[in-house]
């Protein structure tokens, strides 16, 4: 069944509803370059990056995508100047304060992955509020990766498993590890989108992306719009997913 196209993409090939990804992960890259190309401070690029996220969440919700995981701050991003980190944390607080009511009204539940206990307390408080506010929403999970690194997540999961109840000498299994990851209970991403033309995973969802299809967009994140989102989905629908089998 074709899905109705968004106005920004009326020329596109119709999407097939039953072949849409359940879970889309996005590396929102290129904010800094977008600003630098315009002679602006990098932080303006991040501000524009937040603005670009909103219509993508809206479109994902409209299409019936179940989970959208976005890489908002990595464990490696602490290496940036503190002035840039402060802006990013401030943007997160602003985003949650201004967008949570509308996200809630649209059926979006906010969740996080990553070690959020190490975020500034204002960010932690905003996140706790936004998660609580949206906790009963069921259309889309907007999963914010914050102080997230896949190696850190896997180590925390293994340590949690070790600390938990299991038999003496019992080996750790794939399913036990999955259940101890920050993404426990979520389907693995079917599609990974990275903007800004870079072909890298950057310590994002290393375990969960095992069989994800990858779409690299040449657009810098602030220019990533619903039309480009549709191009990624159209491209995804041409893929033959075999999961290591013969299809
Ligand atoms: C990569 O661009 C982007 C980030 C490190 C942060 C992504 C964050 C946002 C889009 C905004 C925050 C999100 C929320 C939900 C409030 P870059 O700075 O590495 O760009 P560059 O590679 O061009 O330097």
Convert the pLDDT of each residue in 95-132 to its tens digit: 999 999 999 999 999 999 999 999 999 999 999 999 99
**Model pTM?**
0.94
2 CA → ligand 1 middle, Å: 33
Nearest atom in ligand 1 to 84's CA: 18
pLDDT digits (tens, 9 = 90+) for 133-149: 999 999 999 999 999 99
CA distance 185 to 181: 9
Weakest-pLDDT range from 168-172, 201-205, 221-225: 168-172
pLDDT value at residue 8: 41
For the four alpha carbons of 158, 200, 58 and 21, in that order, the dihedral sign comes to negative
Which positions ≥6 away from 207 have C-beta within 8 Å?
150, 153, 154, 177, 178, 181
Domains (ranges, CATH) in the chain? 17-149+187-236 (3.40.1180.10)
Interval between CA 242 and ligand 1 midpoint (Å): 32
Mutate to test the pocket of ligand 1, among 26, 31, 68, 75 (most ligand atoms within 8 A of CB): 31
Q: Reply yes or no on whether the pLDDT at 172 is more than 50.
A: yes
- pLDDT exceeds cutoff 80 at 3: no
Please give the biggest Cα pair distance in the chain: 60
């Amino acid at each position: 069944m074709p899905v109705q196209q968004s106005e920004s993409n009326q020329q596109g090939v119709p999407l097939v509803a039953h072949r849409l990804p359940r879970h889309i992960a996005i590396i929102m890259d290129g904010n800094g370059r977008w600003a630098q190309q315009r002679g602006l401070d990098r932080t303006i690029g991040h501000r524009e990056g937040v603005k670009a996220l909103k219509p993508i969440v809206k479109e994902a919700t409209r299409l019936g995508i179940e989970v959208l995981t976005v890489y908002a701050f990595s464990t490696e991003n602490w290496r940036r100047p503190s002035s840039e980190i402060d802006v990013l944390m401030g943007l997160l607080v602003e985003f949650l304060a201004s967008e949570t009511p509308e996200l809630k009204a649209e059926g979006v539940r906010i969740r996080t992955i990553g070690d959020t206990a190490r975020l500034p307390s204002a960010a932690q408080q905003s996140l706790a509020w936004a998660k609580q506010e949206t906790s009963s929403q069921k259309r889309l999970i907007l999963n914010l990766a914050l102080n997230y690194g896949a190696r850190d997540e896997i180590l925390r999961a293994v340590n949690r498993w070790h600390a938990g109840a299991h038999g003496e000498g019992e080996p750790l299994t794939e399913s036990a590890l999955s259940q101890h990851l920050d993404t426990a209970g979520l389907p693995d991403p079917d599609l990974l989108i990275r903007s800004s033309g870079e072909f890298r995973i950057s310590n994002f969802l290393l375990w969960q992306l095992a069989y994800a299809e990858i779409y690299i967009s040449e657009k810098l994140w602030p220019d990533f719009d619903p039309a480009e989102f549709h191009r990624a989905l159209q491209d995804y629908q041409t893929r033959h997913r075999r999961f290591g089998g013969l299809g």
